[in-house]
Structure 1
Amino acid sequence: MPSLESQSYRFDPQPDYPFSLAVKRLWDPTSPFLDDPDAYSLLFVHGTGFHKEQWEPIIEDLYDQAGRDGSPVKLREAWTIDTPNHGDSAVWNEHVLQQGYESVFAWEEIARSVHRLLSGLGSGVDVDFSTRKLVGIGHSSGAVGLILSTTYHPPVKYSLLHLVEPMILPYDPVRNNILEGPAAKRRDTWASKEEAMKAFQSRPSWQVWDPRVLKTYVVTLIAPHPCRKTENIRHVQESGLRPLPTAYYPDQTEGVTLKCPRLSESAQYRDKITTTRAYNFLSTITERLPIHILYGAVDDYVPRFIKDKVINHAGGVQKFASFHRVPGAGHLVTQTHTTELAKAIHEVLLRPLGATSVTTRL
């Protein structure tokens, strides 16, 4: 498996857009494709309650797949982003988030953030994504954000989109997100990182996670930028946690808390509009772009009849470039089946653009 290096950025679209965005680029320094315009640049967008570093085990496994003998997949780089109220972005934006976003945080902000980054509508990331062979990969609300990022101007030039358990739902005036209540009551402060890790490991639902993903809540390994005069060693950085006090917990002077506090997470679950907008737009985007869709075979958070309704509303499985189900996985396939998901992404990238496959089972 190649040893990936990374660089972190602060993308600043202010004053036109109020949120700063934490962005990270990962790459294989030994790759012959770093300047190859025909190699893929991948953008990964996380779901609600997660952060950009949770993609890193999947990215590592994907690079491993692409690096094996016989694979024609060329990877230039991978990019990850913390959406405005998650991860490092949430730390930078905490005072803005307290100015009207605590009741409802619209998923449209994910789409706007992605669009502004990829369109260069801000400072801090000196990359022209319009020259990249760009692939968007999004989980849950991140998949919805990717879909709707195509509706702004100037248009983002994606080669394809890969939607992982997209939280696309038809309109239901009485539907409430089943995750809102638990998120609002969730414990999100601990006396130390060690105590937090023990709490995470004790939760039955988290015990089935890939340990590498679980660890990103506490630490992640970051390589120094090769152009900087620093020793070529990795250093540890907190990912999902931050020290207290914070704007949300100003009186707690010791311990750690989630970078995305429970108030922000539950506020995002209250948005009932954006997911339906993506549902209504899906049949349009499948005519414009190769759209690959992946669900877990276990229908836990989203019932099978809803998933079938989404597919049929878009015109049927034949409208998608590919349609996968991952055996044994549910909505949190990004946490529990990282290697299988990396294999699925690799299979998508193997396909000539425009090729279709109704079903592929892993």
Structure 2
Amino acid sequence: MDFTKDFNPTFPPPEPYQLPTCHPKELVPIESSESEELEAAGRPDLPSPPRKSLLDSWFTLSTHLVPCANPRTTPDIPLPPLPKWSSNRDEFKASVKKTAETILDVKEKQWRGELDHLPRGRKPMWNCVNRYVRRPRAGESDPANGLTLFCAHANGFPKEIWEPALQRLIETHEAQAKYAISEVWLWEARNHGDAALVNRDQLDGIFDWRDNTRDILNFLWNYLPPSASADPLPTHLPRLPHAEAERRLAQGLQGRNIVYVAHSFGACSTVRAAISHPVLFKHIVLVDAMILPAPYAEVASTTSTRDYVLGAVGRRDGWSSREEALQQFSAIPFFAAWDPAVLQIYVECGLHADANGQLKLKMPGVQEAVCFAENYAPFECFELLSGLDERVELRWLVAGKLTA
């Protein structure tokens, strides 16, 4: 049978579907030297005391600060008025909705270009990173020859959220793998965890995920030490010479074999960095990456985004003890689904004691909401993904159920 002559389909083939464009923008260039504002502000101390990590049997933990990229993509936008607590449920819900609508309105104005006339923010801020370096062991090769893992968290999580998964990985790895993990770096975005405590007086009422991308790039080419080493590092990582940064931008991170592991918001930020500067990336493992096609052409927050923002603004933020917090989180279906070790580390490292001894979220709910308000970074990343250098190896981990 000649299908070209005899095949007569009931319906004509549909026209190829063209996804709406979100008109991706270039990343704002990063200044090539530390700003005068940064020097004038001084060097902050770490906000949390040293702790024994879950990886302590294999790795030595140290925590460090690095300056965020300057300038920011967004202007200085003050935080919205926070919701006023009321025992009247309807009054409190109305107050939460008002704060959430303010956050979403500002973000949509940014997407429409209505904030472009304002100067970009330049307030000095810091990223916080945990470094886990392999403890020397008899008979093992030079640690500089092993893998480096770089892990980026999802929205709302502190950097330490990775420790239970890394503990399981290393326990399995010790028995099976023929290569060494020499060093692990856990990234923390500027408004999360300990970084949020350091920057608490500088955080804005708007956040652009592209700035997390730019902060990651700033760390990789200006602050990441050339190779893994058991030698201790200062709390404030020194900026590398300009010539080294230029070499990395041209030739990549030649002294390291890095595998990037990134979750949700962190995955979107990392892939956007790889699209922009593929020479710095070879292997990326994406966990439930927030990389999505734009559902429509007009500028508007999606229904799910609005729900997430409302939920974050209305979060409880105050407990008398970690035991009370753990009990309360365990009763919430979202947290109850977590591995117990992950929930435990969230309570240990995601909360801090305020001046009155009450436990509070390191990342306030309003900052989680500001981060949730971003729609366009996932859309941009999806639209640009086909342009990622094919030499960058991607591995995707996604939920078995779309609702998971």
TM over 0.5: yes
Give the whole-Å Cα distance in 2 for the aligned partners of 1:199 and 1:48: 20
Secondary structure (helix, strand or coil) at the match of 1:217 reads helix
Give the drift of 1:151: 4.5
Change (3 A) 1:134 1:3: closer
Alignment of 1:295-334 (within 5 A): 295-300=398-403, 330=404
User: 1:74: how far off?
Assistant: 2.5
Does 2:163 align with 1:56? yes
Q: Which runs of 5+ in 2 are unaligned?
A: 1-54, 73-123, 225-234, 245-252
Residue 7 in structure 1 maps to residue 117 in structure 2: no
Task: Give the whole-Å Cα distance in 2 for the aligned partners of 1:19 and 1:125.
Answer: 14
Q: Decide whether aligned partners of structure 1 residues 34 and 60 sit closer, same or farther in structure 2, where only a CA change above 3 A counts.
A: farther
2:270 corresponds to which letter in structure 1? Answer: L
Q: Which amino acid aligns with 1:5?
A: T
Paired residues of 2:275 and 2:387 also in contact (CA < 8 A): no
Task: Specify which of 180, 186, 203 is matched with residue 315 of structure 2.
Answer: 186
Q: When the two structures are aligned, how many residues end up with a matched partner?
A: 268
AA at the equivalent of 1:244: D
Q: Distance in 2 between matches of 1:65 and 1:167?
A: 28
Aligned to 1:349: none
Q: CA deviation digits over 1:39-58, x for unaligned, max 9?
A: 21010000001111010011
| Higher share of residues assigned strand | 1
**Structure with greater Cα Rg:** 2
In structure 2, how many angstroms separate the alpha carbons of the residues matched to 1:183 and 1:15?
28
Asked if the contact 1:33–1:76 (Cα under 8 Å) also holds between the matched residues in 2, the reply is no
Deviations 1:148-190 (CA, angstroms, capped at 9, x unpaired): 122556x652221111100111113442314222111111222
1:56 partner letter: E
Structure 1 unaligned blocks of 5 or more: 220-238, 246-252, 301-329, 331-362
2:331 alignment partner AA: S
Aligned residue in 1 for 2:99: none
Does the 8 A contact of 1:119 with 1:156 survive in 2?
no
Asked whether 1:200 is paired with 2:329, we answer yes
Taking a change above 3 Å as real, the CA distance of residues 266 and 55 of structure 1, as seen in their structure-2 partners, is same
Taking structure 2 as the reference length, what is the TM-score of the superposition?
0.61
Q: What is the 5 A alignment of 1:139-288?
A: 139-152=263-276, 157-172=280-295, 173=298, 174=300, 175-176=302-303, 177=305, 178-219=307-348, 239-245=349-355, 253-285=356-388, 287-288=390-391
Amino acid at match of 2:144: D
Would you say the 8 A contact 1:115–1:156 is kept in 2? no
SS at match of 1:218: helix
CA shift at 1:16, angstroms? 5.8
Task: For 2:254 and 2:196, locate their aligned partners in 1 and report how far apart those are by CA, in whole Å.
Answer: 27
Say what the alpha-carbon RMSD is for the aligned residues. Answer: 2.4
Q: What is the deviation of 1:217?
A: 2.2
Q: Find the aligned partners of 1:130 and 1:202 in 2 and give their Cα distance.
A: 48
Matched with 1:305 is none
Task: Give the TM-score normalised by the residue count of structure 1.
Answer: 0.68
Contact 1:4 1:60 in 2 (8 A): no
- Alpha-carbon contact 1:130-1:156 (below 8 Å) kept: no
Whole-angstrom CA distance in 2 between matches of 1:282 and 1:112:
17
Equivalent-residue separation in structure 2 for 1:94 and 1:138 (angstroms): 25
**Alpha-carbon spacing, 1:34–1:202, altered in 2? closer, same or farther (3 Å):** farther
